[in-house]
Amino acid sequence: MQDRLLMVVVGMLVVLSFYSSGFRALSQASEFDLVITNGHIVDGTGNPWFEADIAIKNGRIVEIGKVETTRAVRTIDAKGLIVTPGFIDVHTHIESNIGRLPTAENFLRMGVISVVTGNCGGSASNLGEWFTELEKAGISINIASLVGHNTVRRAGMNGDFDRTPTPEEMQRMRDLVEQAMRDGAVGLSTGLVFVPGTYAKTDEVAELAKVAARYGGNYATHMRDEGNRVEQAIKEALEIGELARCPVEISHFKVNSKKRCGDSKITIKLIEDARAKGQQVTIDQYLYTAGSTFLGRIFPTWLFDGGTGKVKDRPLHSPAVRFFGGCGLLQHLRSGISLY
Ligand SMILES: [Zn+2]
């Protein structure tokens, strides 16, 4: 734990040093802008750590080994600390707020310098424009984005989502995924528990994943189920990867039902078996037992008006409506607040 904290501090200092213009001005006369000495280097290749100094000039590592500190403008003694490249966070949802916080210090201060966003089926609706805006804003981290299936479905299906798309709508969605991939997306994401993606069948998702695969993209999924039917959901994700012939990434992998506690033995075996057969599948996971998602997720999908996330006007004798009414929530929901 202590190592992790120390590592973060050093990672942050390196990053801040890269971006410090005043520091660059000082460096004209010296050979290196910065030397980090005595650290244990974990280089990200999977190799064990090794002890060495790192010399940095103009934001780039120019020497690794034994470096004289007299050759540097500035020195950091990293004795007892780990020195490592910035971390990559493969699962974020920063579309709506990176513009307000372009320095992204919440990531930098944890040593994260690259993120993947657009997960769980939701991405910027026009990735090309979004990337251009980010470049203009001058953000401090590297960003890759997936194209979200829910985003594409909302744009492609004319406000009526609880059904199979028509051939024309399917083609429109293919075109939207293709445009996003041309604009730089790194794959297709789904959120198959959320409206409107939850109404999609496996073959619809596979068709769109095929488009992403043509551009070297992967398929990242917040699966249809993470509890009682988690095995079926994993099999669906693997099937989509096989049909589209692309790598599969299963997001926030877990078993989220108390009744199934301990069954990760079963779910992990499904992943290991697929990998043993040669399928390229990976998972990511957060290391705490709490979860967070849209409020709408705790209600049955039939309560909602297609992809709007707003509650349908249901007959008052419906047992579910009586239940939610009893909770005092229904009136609130009917006021038109979107829960997705
Ligand atoms: Zn998710």
Task: Give the distance (Å) from ligand 1 centre to CA of residue 287.
Answer: 15
Task: Give the distance (Å) from ligand 1 centre to CA of residue 189.
Answer: 10
Residue 44: pLDDT band with limits 50, 70, 90: confident
Q: Which residue(s) pair with 145 in the sheet?
A: 117
Task: Give the distance (Å) from ligand 1 centre to CA of residue 330.
Answer: 25
Task: Give the distance (Å) from ligand 1 centre to CA of residue 320.
Answer: 26
Residue 316: pLDDT band with limits 50, 70, 90: low
pLDDT at 9: 39
DSSP string, 7-65: HHHHHHHHHHHHT-HHHHHHGGGSSEEEEEEEEEE--SSSPPPEEEEEEEETTEEEEEE
Neighbours of 133 (CB within 10 A): 14
pLDDT at 295: 73
Task: Give the distance (Å) from ligand 1 centre to CA of residue 128.
Answer: 23
More confident of the two residues 318 and 199:
199
Task: Pull the structure tokens for residue 100.
Answer: 């307000």
Reply yes or no on whether the pLDDT at 6 is more than 70. Answer: no
Residue 275: pLDDT band with limits 50, 70, 90: very high
Question: Which residues lie below 8 Å from residue 107, measured CB to CB, with a gap of 6+?
Answer: 89, 113, 115, 141
pLDDT at 140: 94
59 with 200, same domain: the answer is: no
8-26 pLDDT, tens per residue? 334 444 444 444 444 444 4
pLDDT at 332: 60
Reply yes or no on whether the pLDDT at 77 is more than 70. Answer: yes
75 with 112, same domain: the answer is: no
146 with 190, same domain: the answer is: yes
Task: Give the distance (Å) from ligand 1 centre to CA of residue 125.
Answer: 18
Section 236-259 average pLDDT: 96
User: Could you tell me the CATH number of the domain that includes residue 66?
Assistant: 2.30.40.10
Section 307-331 average pLDDT: 61
**Mean pLDDT for all residues in the chain:** 86
62 with 180, same domain: the answer is: no
**End-to-end CA gap in the chain:** 36
CB 89 within 8 A of CB 284: no
245 with 304, same domain: the answer is: no
Distance from C-alpha of 178 to C-alpha of 210, rounded to nearest angstrom: 10
Q: Is 262 among the domain residues?
A: yes
Task: Give the distance (Å) from ligand 1 centre to CA of residue 164.
Answer: 23
Q: Is 288 among the domain residues?
A: no
Task: Give the distance (Å) from ligand 1 centre to CA of residue 120.
Answer: 4
pLDDT at 291: 79
Section 171-197 average pLDDT: 96
User: Could you tell me the CATH number of the domain that includes residue 204?
Assistant: 3.20.20.140
CB 150 within 8 A of CB 221: no
Reply yes or no on whether the pLDDT at 296 is more than 90. Answer: no
191 with 51, same domain: the answer is: no
264 with 312, same domain: the answer is: no
67 with 187, same domain: the answer is: no
pLDDT at 54: 96
97 with 61, same domain: the answer is: no
326-337 pLDDT, tens per residue? 566 666 666 666
Domain range enclosing 50: 2-83
Give the count of domains, the chain: 3
Residue 164: pLDDT band with limits 50, 70, 90: very high
Q: Is 289 among the domain residues?
A: no
Q: Is 301 among the domain residues?
A: yes
pLDDT at 21: 40
Section 184-209 average pLDDT: 96
Task: Give the distance (Å) from ligand 1 centre to CA of residue 203.
Answer: 21
Q: Is 130 among the domain residues?
A: yes
Q: Is 339 among the domain residues?
A: no
Chosen domain end from 28, 54, 83: 83
Task: Give the distance (Å) from ligand 1 centre to CA of residue 205.
Answer: 16
Task: Pull the structure tokens for residue 60.
Answer: 């780039």
Reply yes or no on whether the pLDDT at 27 is more than 60. Answer: no
| C-alpha R_g of the chain | 24
140 with 278, same domain: the answer is: yes
Task: Give the distance (Å) from ligand 1 centre to CA of residue 281.
Answer: 17
Chosen domain end from 22, 57, 83: 83
Record the pTM.
0.81
Section 218-222 average pLDDT: 98
Task: Pull the structure tokens for residue 227.
Answer: 């509890």
Residue % of the chain over a pLDDT of 90: 68
pLDDT at 40: 96
Chosen domain end from 83, 105, 130: 83
Q: Is 319 among the domain residues?
A: yes
Q: Is 241 among the domain residues?
A: yes
Question: Which residues lie below 8 Å from residue 217, measured CB to CB, with a gap of 6+?
Answer: 146, 181, 185, 186, 187, 188, 209, 246
Task: Give the distance (Å) from ligand 1 centre to CA of residue 310.
Answer: 20
Reply yes or no on whether the pLDDT at 2 is more than 50. Answer: no
Section 102-117 average pLDDT: 95
CB 95 within 8 A of CB 129: no
113 with 220, same domain: the answer is: yes
127 with 274, same domain: the answer is: yes
